[in-house]
Amino acid sequence: MSSNPDVILASAGTGKTFKLAGRFLALLFDGVAPAEILATTFTRKAAGEILDRVLGWLARACEDKKELEELRTATGLGADRVNSASCYLLLGNLIRQLDTFNVRTLDSFFVESAKVFALELGMPPGWNIVEEDDDKRLRAEALSVMFTRTERKALLTLLDEMSLGAPRRSVHQASLDLVGEGLETLRDSQFSAWDEIKPLGSELPASALAGLPTQVEELPPILTKAGKLTARDPTMRRTLIGEIEAENWKSFLGETITRSVISGNNTYGGTPLPAEWIELLKGIITHAQYCLVRDIRRRNLALHEFLENFEQTYRQLKNARGAFRFEDFPLALARSKQLADTEGTSFRLSRKVNHLLLDEFQDTSVLQWQVLEPLINRVVSAKGAQRSIFCVGDIKQSIYGWRQGEPRLLSEFAESFNLQQDSISKSYRSSSVVLEAVNKTFADLGHNEALSEADERVIESAHEWARDYEPHEAANTELPGMFVLRQTSEPGSAKKYISMSLEMAANRAGELNQENGNASIGILLRGNLHIPRMLKLLQERGLSASGEGGNPLTDSRAVLAVIALLHLADHPGDSAAAFHVGSSFLATAFELDTNHTSHQQRRKVADSVRQELQATGYGNWLERISKLDSARKLSDWDTIRLRQLVDLGHVFARHASLRPSLGEANQLLDCPLQDHGVGVLHGDNILLG
């Protein structure tokens, strides 16, 4: 192992932060000013942990001999350099320079860079970073503007090509979905990539195509060795003729007889195909493949045109409103190449970055890389005493695929820049029991029985992943741990028996809670689909739980009653909303009940709510609701959620609308919050996988 590697591939719990903080402190002990060091990571929490580790470690080392010895080990410096006196002196100097530390998220670095290059990037004065809900509305508006500007015939042609002749009923929502799925791909690619796929061969003339059904009908029968007609011959012919007439080439190529000819097997039901069949099918297959690839190319080009048009309109609206999202800044910086002028960047940022410490690099996107590359090149080109780079990450822990994280950037990083690379796999977090189970599961992933029926590409990816896998080992072999594999009473397809699996997990969580009420329980699911069901099962067992990032407040009856009241304020004719309010804790305060309420009374309630909202604002109005006498009788869960609703009301007050059911209510419905009160399963315990 290299004594001073530039890149470390570190498995979970092996001390990535320890290594990075140690390198940071080594630079500081060497006299490097904090302003010359840029340490980046992906979350504010992680950035805070790095800074806490650096300053806290230094402070503890001033008095604690054990901490001092660990600091010497981490920095690779001897007692003559790292001792109590030098720690005191360095800590004092650093405290006076706290404002010059650059331990931050990549997002915050890009935002700062965008601020100093705002004029060159064409950003308007007074711009701000908007919430996701505001951005959704901006995207919807951009789409409407784009549709309005596009000539009707051209728009219909574009939509038809994008949907391959089968447009969805909701064009606007389908288009927004396409934007969500494709916009980042557009930004990360060149036009040539969208036009890369081209059909080979040629298609049959229309006259030849028209005669194919008759030719198939007239083909000789497929006979068995005994001279009998193959049982499926008539049905198969009719199917092929129907698909040819409908030009359903995807289904045609998926037929058993067609796949047999493509593979060169040239049999059907174990019977060799006559030469006439093989010759005709080969010609149709070439035509079908040409048509499918041609359609894919047309769709790619149509998608590119659609996304380009949207991006242009979207950017215009953003600039007009001064409303941006974090992903806009690396895009603008990458396109303008402003950071390529490293001397100019140093001048603008009022500091020269000579040392880069890159944390969790496996989650870096291609776009972020394009911005960072000039800085990395500058440091690597003169790496030595005056400049250095240190990069840590774990390809296995790449979790930012939804933000276009590209783990291959880390795997190729050291080789690309001729840097020294090491890997560490000794875990200080997990027990040997747990790590042994992990090794058994993943060390030979490509041959795992769970993938026995998987697609070939999945199996190939599993083999590729396993090639880079290093067995994990526990630093503390005495650490207690437990691994148990449980399966349903009827093991089989996960889709078929998912309900039983969820029930089993909920029951086990309940058992663990009874055994130890203070335990923190995590439940890992493969995707979002089954989280609502899982949460419901847990709550039925008296366990308060929330998904990663939290749940919408609508898991509380009290909150739903308030939402119904806001809806009633906007739609006084809605008797169902009035019934909902009348059957809740709000009934007495607003003189509504479950009996028929007159339109006059509903109008009276609506007017009073709207007037109070305009006079006091949503936050103050919700605060008054939470202090009603009837609210004191609510359950602990409803009380907590109602308090959180009040907080949200104050947050969203600046976006308040005169239409409660369209503005505030929708934001309250969509905003997830964690449960910090009742129960054992907190916000970060139910996770997605």
pLDDT in tens, 485-530: 887 776 656 566 788 888 888 899 888 888 887 777 888 887 777 8
Domain check: are 447 and 341 in the same one? no
The whole-model pTM stands at: 0.71
- Is residue 359 situated within a structural domain? yes
pLDDT confidence of residue 546: 65
For residue range 559-577, what is the model confidence (pLDDT) as tens digits? 899 989 998 988 888 889 8
Domain check: are 209 and 92 in the same one? no
Residues 364 and 394: their CA atoms lie apart, in Å, by: 12
Domain check: are 564 and 656 in the same one? yes
Q: Which amino acid is at 242?
A: G
- Is residue 583 situated within a structural domain? yes
Q: Which residue has the tokens 């419901």?
A: 536
Strands 355-358 and 388-393 come out as parallel
Torsion of CA 646, 670, 567, 612, to 10 degrees: 30
Q: Which residues pair with 422 in a beta bridge?
A: 8
Tell me the residue range of the domain where 657 lies: 551-673
Q: Are 7 and 420 in contact (CB under 8 A)?
A: yes
Domain check: are 21 and 88 in the same one? yes
Give me the mean pLDDT over the 417-446 stretch.
90
Q: Which helix (H) or strand (E) holds 498?
A: helix 498-515
Q: Which residue has the tokens 């007609």?
A: 229
- Is residue 397 situated within a structural domain? yes
- Is residue 20 situated within a structural domain? yes
| Sign of the torsion angle spanned by Cα atoms 561, 566, 568, 569 | positive
Task: Work out the number of other CB atoms within 10 angstroms of the CB of residue 599.
Answer: 11
C-alpha to C-alpha distances, 622 to 529, 565, 583, 649, nearest whole angstrom: 32, 11, 19, 7
Q: Which of 76-90, 351-365, 619-633 has the highest mean pLDDT?
A: 76-90
Domain check: are 464 and 608 in the same one? no
- Is residue 194 situated within a structural domain? yes
pLDDT confidence of residue 52: 93
H helical segments located in 617-672:
618-626, 636-651, 664-670
Torsion of CA 390, 395, 396, 400, to 10 degrees: 100
pLDDT confidence of residue 231: 75
Q: Are 503 and 540 in contact (CB under 8 A)?
A: no
Domain check: are 241 and 167 in the same one? yes
DSSP 8-state class, residue 11: -
What integer best gives the mean pLDDT of the chain? 84
- Is residue 683 situated within a structural domain? no
- Is residue 535 situated within a structural domain? no
For residue range 149-176, what is the model confidence (pLDDT) as tens digits? 888 877 777 777 776 655 555 677 888 8
Torsion of CA 137, 141, 144, 145, to 10 degrees: -170
Give the list of residues 6+ apart from residue 328 with CB closer than 8 angstroms, or none.
Answer: 318
Domain check: are 358 and 443 in the same one? no
Domain check: are 450 and 345 in the same one? no
- Is residue 329 situated within a structural domain? no
Count of the separate structural domains present in the chain: 4
Residues 509 and 682: their CA atoms lie apart, in Å, by: 13
Domain final position from 406, 440, 474? 474
Domain check: are 154 and 250 in the same one? yes
Domain check: are 420 and 439 in the same one? no
CATH number at residue 96: 3.40.50.300
Domain check: are 50 and 143 in the same one? no
pLDDT confidence of residue 494: 57
Length in residues, the chain: 689
Domain check: are 176 and 265 in the same one? yes
Whether 253 shows a pLDDT value over 80: the answer reads yes
Q: Which residues pair with 323 in a beta bridge?
A: 128
Give the list of residues 6+ apart from residue 88 with CB closer than 8 angstroms, or none.
Answer: 62
